[in-house]
Amino acid sequence: MRVPFRKKDRAELRAETKDGEVIRAPYVVAEQMRILMRRSELLESHPAVVAITSAVSGEGVTYITNALAVTAVHDTERRVCVVSLDWSKGDSGEGSSIVDVASGEAYLDEALIPTDHDRLFLLPAGEIPLMERAGFARSAELRQVIDDVSDNFDIVILDIPAVGETSDSLALTGLAGQTFVVVRQGGAPIEQIRVALDDLGRDRLGGIVLNDAAIKAPSWLVDPMVAS
């Protein structure tokens, strides 16, 4: 199945929450996200759950996650939810989070953050003590929340911390059908990337997404897994 290509639409794709958080995908990045969607199970599985991670922090996982989400909701008629599972960010603000939903302190619809796209929602990670994160990442309660999100959305994209930062990442990627690894040009050393790929396993690896890559070549020669 091919993603619709809007040749005349070269503007940045974007969405915004009521609190002013902007999710964006510049035209060049959106084009690469379209190719990623064709190569992944996003357009084939219902629902589709994919994970985005990296070997080390600072590679642009959240940027790519958001770009993929806003491109998917722009190009298709599907409901999309971005689920943050990086508790080091503590990104729920004053609202409810996935931690609250898993503990029974909030309903899923109370924790979801809407955007100005009526089919795009965010589910923040919230906060959880460092010593409790390993258990929560592997808990039946967390898996149940992801299952519940999948019941309500066509595409679920998990924003997961770097594999090299915490072993919890391996457990969290197990919640998804496919995992994509973000590699920033000039970022993680090759050996660390290799270790991360080996740890994740090749069976569910969807591919590598190059971020912030400067490639001096005609556009038709550029590897289609590049975002910049």
In a domain, 17, yes or no: no
In a domain, 3, yes or no: no
Whichever domain contains 40, its CATH number is 3.40.50.300
Nearest to 181 by CA among 165, 167, 194, 168: 194
Helices vs strands, H then E, count in the chain: 8, 10
Mean pLDDT of 184-201: 87
In a domain, 29, yes or no: yes
pLDDT digits (tens, 9 = 90+) for 38-95: 878 777 877 899 999 999 999 999 999 999 999 999 999 999 999 999 998 766 567 8
Structural domain including 121 reads 24-227
Cis peptide before 4 (omega within 30 of 0): no
pTM recorded for the entire structure: 0.87
pLDDT class for 212, splitting at 50, 70, 90? confident
pLDDT class for 10, splitting at 50, 70, 90? low
Residue type at position 138 = R
In a domain, 198, yes or no: yes
pLDDT class for 215, splitting at 50, 70, 90? low
Relative to beta strand 13-16, strand 80-84 is: unpaired
In a domain, 66, yes or no: yes
In a domain, 11, yes or no: no
| pLDDT at position 204 | 80
Mean pLDDT of 168-172: 95
| pLDDT at position 225 | 45
> Structurally, how many domains does the chain consist of?
1
| pLDDT at position 4 | 46
| pLDDT at position 28 | 87
* 6: pLDDT strictly greater than 80: no
| pLDDT at position 184 | 86
In a domain, 15, yes or no: no
| pLDDT at position 214 | 58
| pLDDT at position 41 | 73
Rounded percentage of the chain residues whose pLDDT exceeds 70: 87
* 104: pLDDT strictly greater than 60: yes
Mean pLDDT of 17-33: 90
CA separation, residue 152 to residues 47, 67, 79 (Å):
9, 21, 8
Cα 172 to its chain centre, rounded Å, is 12
In a domain, 60, yes or no: yes
pLDDT digits (tens, 9 = 90+) for 119-163: 999 999 999 999 999 999 999 999 999 999 999 999 999 999 999
